[in-house]
Structure 1
């Protein structure tokens, strides 16, 4: 735990992966839209985001099977992962400010991890192709690890427990309404990240508000204000 500075009171920072660390949120919805159209369920990328952003892959597959008018092969999800990986390999990069924020956390000795709705293979692929794998290896938690994915709190509680930190001292950074809901259910402070395609109003219920620049999270004046607001909220003030 850091004893002073902008991240005082936080023992662990928990990052979502897609759309927070790695720029995949413009790729995944386009792939899903193409694949749902193939089985008779036409969706736009924006509709895909609204329905599935932050949800586990198993939920996506269940919904496709429920709504498709054509046959959905047993390997549909594997094909989805293959297409996303192929698309991402052609354009791998981190979200703006990720490196600077991680450097700031390292300088403070503040640990961090990933807790993502993606499966372990997809998370590893995303982090490897973006160059972030060495910074998170051994500290990665997936919806594969728990019975219920986001918006249930299970994944975040699992990450906190395995990392050895109490939930109330774990700061979550999320870009999806389902992820924010999961953090709230886990009684963890959460910041909504709007630097990608997610509209700020859909993350307005994040207890520490929203940021469009990840570097602001390590900025003392900005973070101290958010932290004070959070603990006022926790105390019912």
Structure 2
């Protein structure tokens, strides 16, 4: 990998927008109401970085009594909460300004649906600057940890994966970056570094530090 890269591919939740505490606490309460009581740290370990459909399958196997339309019910609760509470990850706007000044492209690649990103990115003032560069697992055959969404974003920008870097905060997402053969940073401001260190090429915990890691001075 030669630094600086031509493009940065960001995960969304927990990397650009600070949505994980809101959604994970909501999920913990929702599952407890359906008979599956879990500590918060287990919610994070089992579910962060996956899809809500995947959460439904695993929670049902663990004994949760989920209604047939549970995924839609949860998303409705989640969208309402995020529209009121989500904030950008500290330092994200300044960091993206640095990328713009250096002429480095970027996109967001999420396992979440477009409807969710529309709420979180818009509320955090990121939607306009990411217009036409927002990719979801809805756009590809297979969600993370498959590499599909990252490969799609690179292809749409006409940038080779070898000229990109990925930023992820979950093992599932980091595995997707590595499966795409892309240099992968683990963002560990709110993630146990031990979960990402075996997968990622490098770790960092502050968006203010990120431009320097890319070779931007």
Instruction: State the structure with more CA Rg.
Output: 1
Contact map agreement 1:36 1:68 (CA 8 A) in 2: no
Question: How far apart, in 2, do the equivalents of 1:75 and 1:150 lie?
Answer: 23
5+ residue gaps, structure 1, are 1-5, 225-237
Q: Which of 132, 151, 158 is the equivalent residue of 1:157?
A: 151
The residue that corresponds to 2:96 in the other structure is 102
Question: How far apart, in 2, do the equivalents of 1:163 and 1:52 lie?
Answer: 30
5+ residue gaps, structure 2, are none
**1:150–1:111 CA distance, 2 compared to 1 (3 A):** same
Contact map agreement 2:36 2:62 (CA 8 A) in 1: yes
- Give CA-to-partner distance per residue, 1:7-56, whole Å, 9 cap, x none: 52x12110100000000111111111111112222222211110111112
- Give CA-to-partner distance per residue, 1:179-223, whole Å, 9 cap, x none: 11111111000110012x21111110344311111121112xx44
Question: How far apart, in 1, do the equivalents of 2:94 and 2:3 lie?
Answer: 15
Secondary structure of the 1:26 match is helix
Considering only aligned residues, what root-mean-square deviation do their CA atoms show, in Å? 1.8
Aligned pairs (5 A) from 1:9-48: 10-48=5-43
Contact map agreement 1:191 1:206 (CA 8 A) in 2: no
The residue that corresponds to 2:122 in the other structure is 128
The residue that corresponds to 1:55 in the other structure is 50
Secondary structure of the 1:183 match is helix
Aligned pairs (5 A) from 1:190-209: 190-195=184-189, 197-209=190-202
TM-score by length of 1: 0.85
Is 1:73 aligned to 2:67, yes or no? yes
Is 1:90 aligned to 2:87, yes or no? no
How far did residue 114 of structure 1 move?
0.5
Secondary structure of the 2:37 match is coil
Question: How far apart, in 2, do the equivalents of 1:215 and 1:208 lie?
Answer: 19
Q: Which of 56, 64, 67 is the equivalent residue of 2:59?
A: 64
- Give CA-to-partner distance per residue, 1:45-94, whole Å, 9 cap, x none: 21111011111222112223333352x22321122112222222222310
Contact map agreement 1:12 1:170 (CA 8 A) in 2: yes
